[in-house]
A and B are shown apart, each in its own frame.
Chain A
Amino acid sequence: MMQDWATSAIETAKRRGATYADARVMDIRQREISTKNNEVGTLAESESLGIGIRVIADGAWGFASTDRLTREGVQACAAQAVNIAKASALAKRENVALAPENAHVDTWQNPFLKDPFRIPVERQIDLLLAANKEMLRVKGVTLAEGGLSFRRIDQLFVSSIGSVIHQVKMQSGGGIVATSFANSEIQKRSYPNSFGGQHSLQGYELIESLDLVGNAPRIAEEAVALHSAAQCPEGSGTIILGGSQLGLQIHESIGHPIELDRVLGQEANFAGMSFLTVDKLRKLKYGSDIVNVVADARLEHGPGLGTFAYDDEGVPAQCTPIITSGLFTGYLSNRETAAAIGETRSNGTMRTESWNRLPIIRMTNISINPGTWKYDDLIADTDDAILMETNRSWSIDDRRYQFQFSTEIGWEIKGGKKGRMIKNPSYSGITTEFWNSCDAICSRDYWTLWGTPNCGKGQPMQTMGTGHGASPSRFRNVKIGVAFAK
């Protein structure tokens, strides 16, 4: 049926005057479970099936979507997309031009071991309740929470150049949080990451690998201990970022500014633009010589939230060098923006949240390549620093220069040894100054492909999952503690 709907959409669009058309039929199934203080919070399952049709007519774009999947409904939707494109042409300056792409006929599914939708709900609830119980055993914990989420996306892409691509993606995610209120202060610890935990393109084996129950007592104790920890000092100095925090740093200060739609002004009203103007490509010293960053959507990079076989424009997954020995070497592009800057091919980053959203340029897996350091050697080599772990807040300006992050917990490093706990750690800086101050990156043994499930962009807003491989790394001369300065 999926192919009938998509083919009918393409034929109708062409008959109505479209010079290019593609259609995505997506069938999405989700399960959300959360618990709080030994009780079930959310328990819901959902399914959503529909078609999104994108066309070029009169040299301009149109997009329409519907969940009325009858022959008449799909044809009317395709006709509406063409009608919208013709309206777009009223404000056209020049015809849309696309970088060339071959037709692809393929089928792909990400590998996974355990289908999370076949794992009994009771077992999933019991896991979270057991973690809740462990956290609440710790005196001083006032709130214990946990959550699991699973998503299966079955999608068919068909285009007027002859592509027919069927992909099935299985995503899993989960995490726990302990919160402690005391002495007019709220402190929180999350595991394995904040804002929903770890997420990846895997089955239930991801959840089993996290050992949520085993880690619950530790984070509960840390949340309580933070109340009596020393306040993060103000000043400038050395910081070591844990892998998940570095992943978010990459997301905000590398992943977003390399989006070519931002660079070309298409996001100026909402998500913002980028300091990485096209004159900086292959000229800007983005980071220090040891900084190497890639945008890699291929499965061999890992089961990240940005892993796929083809993007939502029918372009195969690729690995693009973004920063090479510190030099800025690549953007994230689609067929339209690649053509606009004279590239011969899109590097395949068009992604859509669902059938009712237009694909836009999104991060895939934007990862820093592992360095050479062993973690213990890095600590031993550091005379005076603060180790910061697990993001608490994040903010960056709309051209991606100036950022400020805070983390849930910090640790003083003195004389090569990890010392006392630090509360309310924060740091800030200017993107290129920060990346140029990186002087140590831990090795593959400490490298994790973190999942960020909540990246918002576009109008109407779309939420997308992105991947960020990172290992603990050290940065010098960083401004520390501004967030709490009086």
Chain B
Amino acid sequence: MKRTKTKSSPRRAARNSGEPGHGAQFTVAELERIAERLIAYSEADETEIEIDSTTDALTRFANNTIHQNVAERTISISVRAVVDGRTARALTNKTDEESLRRVAAAAATLARHQPENPDLLPMLGPQKYRKSARFFASTAAENPQDRARAVTRVCKMAEKRKQTAAGIFSSGSMQATLANSKGLFARHQQTRAEFSVTILEENSSGWAKSNSPDIGEIDPDALAESASRKCADSRKPRELEPGHYTAILEPPAVLDLVGFLFYDFAGTAVLDKRSCLTGRMGKKIFGENITLWDDVYHPLQLGAPYDGEGLPRQKVLLVDRGVPKNLVYSRATAKKMKTKPTGHGFTLPNEYGEAPMNLVFSGGDKSVDDMVRSTERGILVTRLWYIREVDPYEKILTGMTRDGTFLVENGRVAGGIRNFRFNQSMIEMLSNVEMLGAAVRAAGEESFEMVVPAMKVRNFHFSEVTKF
């Protein structure tokens, strides 16, 4: 839970009056009371309350100085009403009596004004959840001075090396409450810290990023050192001809590619025939070395142990040695597809159903150095950028390399190269993986964080080259 160290008197006064101060989140007890009041106010047949209370702060730097520095405190109060087999949602961030009564009434009114939903199931009763330890007081206590000091060290390091640093250092906390009129009550607390840095020179750049619920796991100096080294090593990039190369993809690059597969594992996506797994379940479409789980309980994962309806999340084996084995299902999708729900449903009402949000690859035992040493000629990729889907069924993605792209020759990194565009089928790529690193918690920019390994991939299609 975020608490700034500002000792302003209005804040103390607010605390003394029993009201949360500006920078403080609502307490669990306060959120519970809001949920109880909303359920009491609602005249719907069934009512579900979801409340998220968040504090976040982010220090942003560029050109070796802090240029943006922000903090926010928000609450989202969401009411889902069910009336005569119809459901709708209304949201507010106002906590006064009148607003709470109004949002409860608005959800019920919206619900009435639509056709009956034949797929709608009764709300769940009380559930049991596994405990998760994803709240760190040290992360919640981080303040702008702490972040500024870390950023100053990084900027000074860059300046000393005649380089330029840009990036972010952020921290925050959230608590979520989900309750309904059938007696279900779920809560989740989580903190989050993130440091991302790009180091630039005249014609090269390097990048590193890490995030964790525990700010003690974040080492800004080590990340900046890594980015600085990549920047120096990629000076004066040469231009290579586009073509098919062996690609060594560091974990952030793998993450941002395989992240595009997450919705394909939704039961609804297969039902709607928009998944690349339509007609491919149970068939060996990836390599033997690809095994993939969805596992919110994995120690490197984040997230609540329940889904949008409050159903406990299950660990699901999605791909077993190259074979897509299972999908994930919300309650309604499971009923339609005559199977059991897995606890992956989105908040209702929605048209997308569900998705696995906590992907974990099984990984291997090779290091990136092992991959480089075993490569006669290939491309080492730090990160990717602006990835978009070109073909949804063959799962062809396009995008660019960025901030540290290297030629590998005869088992050595032979220098920086100009950035490539790629057009690559994910199904082919995951059939061409020659080596896997240990699965780590990776942070990129195109996908939510997952546990993925570095990969050495043969025949990766770099289709064009840019000018830097």
Mark A residues whose CB is within 8 Å of B.
Answer: 34-37, 39-50, 60-68, 70-77, 79-81, 83-85, 87-88, 90-93, 120-122, 125, 129, 142-143, 145, 179, 181, 184-186, 264-270, 272, 275, 356-358, 360, 392-399, 401-402, 404, 406, 424, 426, 428, 430, 459-460, 479, 482-486
What is the CB-to-nearest-CB distance from B107 to chain A, in angstroms, rounded to a whole number? 8
Does the CB pair A460–B63 fall under 8 Å?
no
Since A48-B93, A76-B21 are in contact, a sample of 6 more A-B pairs with Cβ atoms closer than 8 Å, ordered by chain A residue number, is: A40-B349, A87-B69, A93-B64, A120-B113, A268-B200, A484-B391
What is the CB-to-nearest-CB distance from B175 to chain A, in angstroms, rounded to a whole number? 15
Digit string of B45-79 for contact with A (CB within 8 Å is 1, else 0)? 00000000000111111111111111111110000
Does the CB pair A395–B398 fall under 8 Å?
yes
List the A side residues contacting B14 at CB < 8 Å: 70, 72-73, 76
Does the CB pair A401–B349 fall under 8 Å?
no
Tell me the complex Cα distance, A422–B70, Å. 49
Does the CB pair A460–B386 fall under 8 Å?
no
What is the CB-to-nearest-CB distance from A151 to chain B, in angstroms, rounded to a whole number? 13
Q: How would you classify the secondary structure of chain A's contact residues: helix, strand, loop or mixed?
A: mixed
What is the CB-to-nearest-CB distance from A185 to chain B, in angstroms, rounded to a whole number? 6
10 CB-based A-B contacts, threshold 8 Å: A36-B272, A62-B70, A68-B20, A72-B11, A84-B69, A88-B66, A145-B351, A399-B466, A460-B58, A479-B464
Does the CB pair A41–B351 fall under 8 Å?
yes
Does the CB pair B22–A185 fall under 8 Å?
no
Closest to A74 in B: B22
Tell me the complex Cα distance, A482–B56, Å. 42
Tell me the complex Cα distance, A186–B276, Å. 9
Does the CB pair B467–A269 fall under 8 Å?
no
Choose from B70, B88, B113, B145 the contact partner of A63 (Cβ within 8 Å).
Answer: B70
List the B side residues contacting A356 at CB < 8 Å: 72, 74
Choose from A62, A66, A394 the contact partner of B388 (Cβ within 8 Å).
Answer: A394
Closest to A120 in B: B113
Does the CB pair B62–A430 fall under 8 Å?
no
Does the CB pair A61–B388 fall under 8 Å?
no
List the A side residues contacting B143 at CB < 8 Å: 87
Interface status of B359 (Cβ within 8 A of chain A): no
Does the CB pair A393–B75 fall under 8 Å?
no
How many B residues are at the interface, by size bracket? 35 or more
Interface status of B13 (Cβ within 8 A of chain A): yes
Interface status of B148 (Cβ within 8 A of chain A): yes
Does the CB pair A87–B145 fall under 8 Å?
yes
Choose from A68, A83, A93 the contact partner of B6 (Cβ within 8 Å).
Answer: A83
Tell me which residues from 126 to 150 in chain B have a Cβ below 8 Å from any Cβ of chain A.
143-145, 147-149
Interface status of B387 (Cβ within 8 A of chain A): yes
Tell me which residues from 377 to 395 in chain B have a Cβ below 8 Å from any Cβ of chain A.
385-393
Does the CB pair B69–A393 fall under 8 Å?
no
List the B side residues contacting A84 at CB < 8 Å: 57, 69-71, 144
List the B side residues contacting A36 at CB < 8 Å: 272, 351
Choose from B61, B94, B196, B402 the contact partner of A49 (Cβ within 8 Å).
Answer: B94
Tell me the complex Cα distance, A71–B9, Å. 12
Point out which of A72, A91, A401, A482 has the most chain B C-beta atoms below 10 A from its C-beta: A91
Tell me the complex Cα distance, A398–B466, Å. 10
List the A side residues contacting B111 at CB < 8 Å: 43
What is the CB-to-nearest-CB distance from A22 to chain B, in angstroms, rounded to a whole number? 14
Digit string of B157-174 for contact with A (CB within 8 Å is 1, else 0)? 000000010111010000
Stretch of B114-122, B211-219, B251-259, B312-320 that contacts chain A: B114-122
Interface status of B249 (Cβ within 8 A of chain A): no
Tell me the complex Cα distance, A266–B65, Å. 10
List the A side residues contacting B461 at CB < 8 Å: 486
Does the CB pair A393–B423 fall under 8 Å?
no
What is the CB-to-nearest-CB distance from A223 to chain B, in angstroms, rounded to a whole number? 12
List the A side residues contacting B152 at CB < 8 Å: 90-91
Tell me the complex Cα distance, A401–B90, Å. 43
Does the CB pair A393–B389 fall under 8 Å?
yes
Does the CB pair B273–A485 fall under 8 Å?
no
Interface status of B431 (Cβ within 8 A of chain A): no
Does the CB pair A88–B94 fall under 8 Å?
no
List the B side residues contacting A404 at CB < 8 Å: 398, 421, 423, 464
Does the CB pair A459–B421 fall under 8 Å?
no
Does the CB pair B72–A65 fall under 8 Å?
yes
Tell me the complex Cα distance, A425–B419, Å. 24
Given contacts A45-B110, A76-B22, contact A50 B74 (CB under 8 A): yes
Does the CB pair A61–B385 fall under 8 Å?
no
Does the CB pair A43–B110 fall under 8 Å?
yes
Closest to A121 in B: B113
Does the CB pair B391–A61 fall under 8 Å?
no
Tell me which residues from 175 to 210 in chain B have a Cβ below 8 Å from any Cβ of chain A.
196-198, 200, 205, 207
Interface status of B155 (Cβ within 8 A of chain A): yes
Closest to B194 in A: A459
What is the CB-to-nearest-CB distance from B62 to chain A, in angstroms, rounded to a whole number? 5
Closest to B4 in A: A80
Closest to B106 in A: A45
Interface status of B279 (Cβ within 8 A of chain A): yes
Tell me the complex Cα distance, A326–B466, Å. 22
Interface status of B245 (Cβ within 8 A of chain A): no
Interface status of B92 (Cβ within 8 A of chain A): yes
List the A side residues contacting B72 at CB < 8 Å: 64-66, 356-357, 460
Does the CB pair A396–B386 fall under 8 Å?
yes
Interface status of B261 (Cβ within 8 A of chain A): no
Interface status of B448 (Cβ within 8 A of chain A): no
List the B side residues contacting A42 at CB < 8 Å: 349-351
Tell me the complex Cα distance, A266–B66, Å. 10
Given contacts A34-B351, A79-B8, contact A397 B274 (CB under 8 A): no
Interface status of B89 (Cβ within 8 A of chain A): yes
List the A side residues contacting B89 at CB < 8 Å: 43-45
Tell me the complex Cα distance, A29–B136, Å. 35
Does the CB pair A181–B350 fall under 8 Å?
no
Does the CB pair A40–B115 fall under 8 Å?
yes
Given contacts A184-B279, A186-B274, A272-B385, contact A46 B69 (CB under 8 A): no
Tell me the complex Cα distance, A120–B117, Å. 19
Given contacts A269-B62, A428-B464, contact A66 B144 (CB under 8 A): no
Does the CB pair A64–B70 fall under 8 Å?
yes
Closest to A35 in B: B351
What is the CB-to-nearest-CB distance from B222 to chain A, in angstroms, rounded to a whole number? 17
Tell me the complex Cα distance, A235–B61, Å. 43
List the A side residues contacting B155 at CB < 8 Å: 91
List the B side residues contacting A143 at CB < 8 Å: 272-274
Interface status of B278 (Cβ within 8 A of chain A): yes
Tell me which residues from 266 to 306 in chain B have a Cβ below 8 Å from any Cβ of chain A.
272-274, 278-279
Choose from B11, B63, B69, B385 the contact partner of A76 (Cβ within 8 Å).
Answer: B11
Tell me the complex Cα distance, A484–B168, Å. 36
Interface status of B334 (Cβ within 8 A of chain A): no
Closest to A393 in B: B388
Tell me the complex Cα distance, A35–B75, Å. 28
What is the CB-to-nearest-CB distance from A428 to chain B, in angstroms, rounded to a whole number? 6
Given contacts A45-B91, A67-B74, A428-B464, contact A40 B149 (CB under 8 A): no
What is the CB-to-nearest-CB distance from A126 to chain B, in angstroms, rounded to a whole number? 9
Interface status of B18 (Cβ within 8 A of chain A): no
Choose from A44, A357, A483 the contact partner of B398 (Cβ within 8 Å).
Answer: A483
Interface status of B451 (Cβ within 8 A of chain A): no
Interface status of B123 (Cβ within 8 A of chain A): no
Does the CB pair A397–B421 fall under 8 Å?
yes
Tell me the complex Cα distance, A486–B57, Å. 45
List the B side residues contacting A430 at CB < 8 Å: 466-467
What is the CB-to-nearest-CB distance from B190 to chain A, in angstroms, rounded to a whole number? 16
Does the CB pair A76–B390 fall under 8 Å?
no
What is the CB-to-nearest-CB distance from A344 to chain B, in angstroms, rounded to a whole number? 22
Choose from A41, A64, A92, A275 the contact partner of B467 (Cβ within 8 Å).
Answer: A275
Tell me the complex Cα distance, A205–B99, Å. 30
List the B side residues contacting A184 at CB < 8 Å: 279, 393
Tell me the complex Cα distance, A468–B149, Å. 42
List the B side residues contacting A265 at CB < 8 Å: 62-63, 164, 166, 200
Given contacts A428-B464, A483-B423, contact A88 B21 (CB under 8 A): no
